[in-house]
Amino acid sequence: MSQPIKIGIVGVGKIVRDQHLPALAKDQDYRLIAAASRHGKVENIPNFPDIEAMLDAVPELEAVSLCMPPQFRYDAARTALMAKKHVFLEKPPGATVSEVENLKALAAQNGVSLFASWHSRYAPAVEAARMFLSSARISSAAINWKEDVRRWHPNQEWIWAPGGFGVFDPGINALSIATHILPPMFITSAVLDFPENRASPVAARVAFRTSNGLPVTMDLDWLQTGPQSWDILADTDKGAMVLSGGGSKLAIDGKVIHEEPEAEYPMLYKRFVEIVRAGTSDVDLAPLQHVADAFMLGKRNVVEAFFD
Q: Is 36:53 a contact under the CB 8 Å cutoff? A: yes
Phi, psi of 140, deg, nearest 5: -165, 165
Pairing between β-strand 138-146 and β-strand 229-236 as defined by DSSP bridges:
antiparallel
Asked if omega into 93 is within 30° of 0 (cis), the reply is: no
Distance, CA of 65 to CA of 54 (rounded, Å):
12
> For the purposes of burial, counting CB atoms within 10 Å of the CB of 237, is it exposed (0-12), middle (13-18) or buried (19 or more)?
exposed
Rounded Cα–Cα distance for residues 202 and 183 (Å): 27
Q: How far is CA 150 from CA 153, 159, 193, in A?
A: 6, 12, 17
User: Of 14, 84, 85, 91, which residue is the catalytic one?
Assistant: 91
299 catalytically annotated: no
What positions carry a catalytic annotation?
A: 91
